[in-house]
Amino acid sequence: MKILLKIAYLGTAYCGYQVQPNGVTVQEKLNEAARSIFGFDCDIVGCSRTDSGVHARGFCATVTRRGTDELTTAIPIENIPRAMNAVLPPDISVLCAEWRNADFHARYDVISKEYEYLFYNGSARDPFLLDRAWQLKKPLADQAIDAMRRAAAAFVGEHDFSALRDGGFDTDEKDATRRVFSTSVEKKGELICFRVRANGFLYHMVRIMAGTLYAVACGSILPEEIGGRLAAGARGGFGVTAPACGLYLDRVYY
């Protein structure tokens, strides 16, 4: 058996999830916490990578004893979150823990993931949303938000999303076909919330979607052009890569 953790974190202070030599990461802090409470080195396998500055509300990761597919502990499973949170930094929290079979894989067993991207649409910048949302230069009208909604709907379905990725980890992955199950754009007070659920995502795909929706709101791309631009496959046919600060991995489905 292995332990599956559900984790929330603010990504502002971290160079993404995955351990790397040039900065502090979320996985590094989880490794340290697991070693502290279990008394031995562990392998922490996450459901995906997240970039520097990206946040998570429902990130999932498994814990096993290093070099094995299992973990044995006398700590009751319901006490694991409290034990790990006692040694984790305050911007990372283990929300819950459960046992899974040894053959369960946190990444490869994912059916779909859902992200949320937050735009701040207020008339003056909000210091309490610093590094929590993309603070737009000026508020968008309801008509512009409706255009964003129609553009987001055009991403639904199975498409080749080659044009919606930047150079990075997955550039050698030839198959860029992904199935987007749902999208939504909602106005909640001074926030505009873009949500997208898919069976997988390419490098920066959601952030490019968000940047494209902003371009649609500004009138430089029309909602009805999205399908044709996807078919053309050119990165230049879409908007900028939106800032990492507005992106949240919200939920993972197994």
Q: 179, 245 in Cβ contact below 8 A?
A: no
Is the CA virtual torsion 144, 134, 250, 107 positive or negative? positive
The position carrying tokens 């938000």 is 145
Please state the rounded mean pLDDT for residues 171-178: 76
Q: What is the pLDDT of residue 21?
A: 86
Query: Confidence class of residue 22 from pLDDT cuts 50, 70 and 90?
Result: confident
Distance CA 245, CA 242 (A): 9
Closest listed residue to residue 249, CA positions, set 215, 191, 198, 182 = 198
Please state the rounded mean pLDDT for residues 184-201: 97
Question: pTM higher than 0.85, yes or no?
Answer: yes
Query: Confidence class of residue 254 from pLDDT cuts 50, 70 and 90?
Result: very high
Please state the rounded mean pLDDT for residues 133-157: 97
Distance CA 98, CA 80 (A): 9
116 - beta bridge partners?
195, 248
145 secondary structure, DSSP code? H
Distance CA 208, CA 78 (A): 39
Please state the rounded mean pLDDT for residues 51-55: 95
51 given a catalytic annotation: yes
pLDDT above 70 covers what percent of the chain?
98
Q: 120, 134 in Cβ contact below 8 A?
A: yes
Q: Which of 51, 69, 146, 160 is catalytic?
A: 51
102 secondary structure, DSSP code? T
Q: What is the pLDDT of residue 170?
A: 54
Query: Confidence class of residue 171 from pLDDT cuts 50, 70 and 90?
Result: low
Neighbours of 158 (CB within 10 A): 12
